[in-house]
């Protein structure tokens, strides 16, 4: 009797040649890691450690950072550093020695510092000051209010009274002081009638004030004068020496003189609204505030400065250059803002507000009731490859102007993070967060390959990035250079990391293998340069990790293999760890084709 010949079965083999980064969920795919530290997708699909970080600046009380003109501009205490230049802003801040974090914005030639409301002209060392200005007249000064023309010149032929003068001549002015018909009129001979003057002006003269060094033409000011109709927001039409011209009208004569004393003085002020968050868009600074307005009321508003003028926020002359303000009906504090797709975008935790239009009369507010920025995570807003990414209250999302989409499922369904700060450049989003217990976490998202990596956490308050791949982050004492590209702005950085220590741990392996087939060999193939090392560890059935092999750089350009035979078990985990640069290329697992229950 002849029986068919049974050929020997070849061993089954599985290879991982694509490493898919961090996935902190209980069921993950081959090539993904349940946990890791200091791994990178720079050479995807190969697994490599991250590059070394450079500590660029060691300081005290670093409060803000901005990369501009290929230079890192940062605020340390009350000193602004820009390349080799320094600017002392302490004479211009409201609170001396403040340690609050600040937002630095670039506006043309200026660096703007909020909420301390200080500006610095980077191209003029003498132009530095406060965006808010105020001036109080000393007691014993006679202040003159006088009707004038637009240039501040006196009228040649003007009379004042409740009734028109008899026998007027062409071009004569009559100031009607009748309270019910107060106004300035001009006699037109060829029409034989008084014509109202559409716009009237008052020249305010303060002897010895040199007021032109405090305010400028175009400033909108608030005053405490005796004339109520000029007090709440008058725009300076011209200013020179001791006087300035504003739009207004006197009620009881062409000239009025008031002398200051201990009971009353003239107080002049250029104010900014209280701003929680700010950004620059279309030659304006935009901001928002929710809460007390300093006058006993509560506001919930979005603001825009005057066009091209970051110092004026209350200029409402009916022009396209006017300031702008709009009230919001939705309750809750603002959580961030950013210039995105050429428009200012504002956030609350459950709302997104976009401003459409080119000038105030055309502006339109559009509200989306979707996931906004998480409270305390305003610095997570970053633009990457034309998309906006930020930390919402539930997850990290990407936003294209329509609806936010979550990209953070791989960070773990049960993981909740807060106080996020982020930066983005060259396809990567860098984000620092903390959990409810205050533990710091630092992740990098590769947008092109849809991969997360986790790195060792450092205390990070904010980021600044460039289009060329420069990434800088800071805390109160240090500024670091990180990212895909090597730092090029600092030729002599302070000592940083000599060698990166790294590790990565797989999820549970073997559940996906049918018929309880046993792994009989695991082989890791990698390139390990000189002074680098890779170790392979294994944990059986949730037990402690055991070292199974190590390779060190031998100075050759060839790859090396770590191979070992695992014990029979229900499931296992692998951990790779080491130091220095290396490239982990593939992992091959060979299975016993017979299968069977382990043990």
Q: What is the pLDDT of residues 192-218, one digit of tens each?
A: 999 999 999 999 999 999 999 999 999
Question: Is there a single domain that holds both residue 141 and residue 33?
Answer: no
In this prediction, residue 517 carries a pLDDT of: 72
H or E stretch covering 194: strand 193-196
Q: What is the pLDDT of residues 327-340, one digit of tens each?
A: 999 999 999 999 99
Residue 219 lies in a domain: yes
Residue 111 lies in a domain: no
Q: Of 270, 286, 308, which residue sits at a domain end?
A: 270
How far does CA 255 lie from the centroid of its chain?
51
Q: Is the pLDDT of residue 468 over 90?
A: no
Q: Which residue has the higher pLDDT, 500 or 515?
A: 500
User: Residue 45's pLDDT band (boundaries 50, 70, 90)?
Assistant: very high
Integer Rg of the chain from CA:
34
Q: Is the pLDDT of residue 11 over 80?
A: no
Angstrom distance (rounded) from CA 172 to CA 170: 6
The domain in which residue 21 lies consists of 12-47+501-591
Q: Which CATH number goes with the domain that contains 568?
A: 2.60.120.260
What is the mean predicted confidence (pLDDT) over 179-186? 91
Angstrom distance (rounded) from CA 432 to CA 53: 15
Residue 125's region, left for phi above 0, alpha for psi from -120 to 50, else beta, is alpha
Helix (H, G, I), strand (E, B) or coil at 305: coil
Q: What is the pLDDT of residues 388-400, one digit of tens each?
A: 999 999 999 999 9
Question: Is there a single domain that holds both residue 40 and residue 144?
Answer: no
Q: Is the pLDDT of residue 126 over 90?
A: no
Question: Is there a single domain that holds both residue 19 and residue 147?
Answer: no
Q: What is the pLDDT of residues 145-156, one digit of tens each?
A: 999 999 999 998
User: Residue 310's pLDDT band (boundaries 50, 70, 90)?
Assistant: very high
What is the count of structural domains for the chain? 2
Question: Is there a single domain that holds both residue 37 and residue 141?
Answer: no
End-to-end CA distance of the chain: 38
Residue 417 lies in a domain: no
Q: What is the pLDDT of residues 469-478, one digit of tens each?
A: 788 999 999 9
Q: Is the pLDDT of residue 591 over 90?
A: no
In this prediction, residue 470 carries a pLDDT of: 84
Check if the beta carbon of residue 499 is closer than 8 Å to that of residue 578. Answer: no
Q: Of 223, 245, 270, which residue sits at a domain end?
A: 270
Range of lowest pLDDT (54-58, 500-504, 527-531, 562-566): 54-58
In this prediction, residue 2 carries a pLDDT of: 64
Residue 467 lies in a domain: no
In this prediction, residue 9 carries a pLDDT of: 53
> What does pLDDT average to over the chain?
91
Residue 139 lies in a domain: yes
Question: Is there a single domain that holds both residue 233 and residue 138?
Answer: yes
Q: What is the pLDDT of residues 417-452, one digit of tens each?
A: 999 999 999 999 999 999 999 999 999 999 999 999
H or E stretch covering 303: strand 298-304
Residue 563 lies in a domain: yes
Angstrom distance (rounded) from CA 590 to CA 565: 9
Q: Is 351 exposed, middle or buried (0-12, 13-18, 19+ CB in 10 A)?
A: buried
H or E stretch covering 175: strand 173-176
Residue 339 lies in a domain: no
In this prediction, residue 307 carries a pLDDT of: 98
Q: Of 270, 287, 305, which residue sits at a domain end?
A: 270
């Amino acid at each position: 009797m002849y029986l068919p010949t049974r050929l020997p079965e070849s061993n089954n083999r599985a290879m991982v040649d694509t490493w898919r980064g961090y996935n902190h969920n209980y069921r993950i795919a081959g090539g993904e890691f349940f946990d890791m530290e200091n791994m990178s997708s720079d050479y995807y699909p190969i697994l490599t450690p991250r590059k070394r970080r450079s500590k660029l600046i060691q300081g005290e009380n670093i409060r803000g950072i901005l990369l501009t003109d290929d230079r890192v501009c940062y605020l340390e205490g009350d000193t602004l550093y820009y390349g080799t230049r320094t600017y002392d802003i302490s004479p211009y801040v409201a609170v001396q020695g403040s340690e609050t974090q600040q937002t630095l914005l670039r506006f043309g030639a200026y660096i703007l510092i909020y909420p301390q409301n200080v500006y610095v002209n980077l191209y003029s060392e003498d132009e530095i000051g406060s965006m808010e200005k105020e001036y109080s007249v000393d007691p014993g000064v006679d202040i003159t209010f006088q009707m004038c023309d637009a240039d501040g010149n006196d009228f040649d032929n003007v009379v004042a009274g409740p009734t028109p003068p008899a026998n007027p001549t062409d071009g004569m002015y009559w100031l009607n002081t009748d309270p019910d018909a107060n106004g300035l009129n001009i006699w037109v001979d060829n029409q034989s009638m008084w014509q109202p003057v559409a716009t009237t002006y008052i020249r305010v003269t303060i002897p010895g004030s040199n007021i032109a060094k405090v305010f400028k033409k175009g400033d909108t000011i608030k005053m405490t004068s005796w004339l109520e109709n000029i007090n709440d927001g008058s725009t300076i039409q011209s200013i020179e020496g001791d006087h300035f011209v504003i739009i207004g009208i006197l009620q009881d004569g062409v000239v009025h003189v008031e002398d200051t004393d201990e009971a009353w003085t003239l107080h002049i002020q250029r104010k900014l609204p209280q701003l929680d968050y700010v950004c620059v868009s279309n030659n304006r600074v935009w901001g928002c505030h929710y809460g007390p307005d300093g006058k006993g009321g509560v506001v919930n508003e979005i603001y825009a400065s005057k066009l091209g003028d970051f110092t004026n926020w209350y200029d409402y002359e009916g022009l396209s250059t006017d300031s702008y303000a709009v009230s919001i009906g939705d309750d809750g504090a603002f959580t961030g803002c950013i210039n995105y797709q050429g428009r200012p975008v504002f956030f609350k935790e459950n709302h997104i507000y976009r401003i459409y239009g080119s000038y105030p009369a055309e502006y339109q507010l559009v509200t989306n009731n979707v996931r906004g920025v998480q409270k305390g995570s305003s610095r997570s807003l970053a633009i990457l490859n034309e998309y906006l990414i930020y930390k919402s209250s539930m997850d990290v999302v990407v936003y294209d102007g329509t609806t936010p989409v979550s990209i953070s499922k791989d960070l773990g369904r049960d993981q909740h993070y807060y106080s996020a700060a982020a930066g983005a450049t060259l396809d990567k989003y860098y984000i620092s967060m903390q959990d409810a217990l205050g533990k710091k976490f630092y992740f990098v998202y590769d947008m092109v390959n849809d991969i997360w990596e986790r790195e060792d956490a450092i205390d990070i308050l904010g980021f600044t990035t460039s289009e060329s791949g420069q990434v800088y982050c800071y805390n109160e004492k240090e500024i670091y250079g990180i990212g895909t590209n090597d730092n090029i702005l600092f030729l002599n950085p302070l000592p940083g990391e000599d060698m990166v220590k790294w590790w990565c741990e797989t999820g549970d392996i073997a559940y996906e293998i049918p018929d309880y087939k046993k792994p009989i060999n695991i082989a890791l193939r990698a390139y390990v340069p000189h002074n680098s090392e890779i170790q392979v560890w294994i944990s059986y059935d949730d037990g402690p990790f055991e070292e199974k092999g190590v390779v060190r750089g031998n100075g050759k350009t060839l790859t090396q293999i770590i191979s070992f035979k695992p014990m029979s078990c229900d499931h296992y985990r692998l951990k790779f760890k080491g130091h220095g640069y290396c490239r982990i290329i593939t992992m091959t697992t060979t299975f016993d084709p017979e299968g069977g229950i382990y043990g």
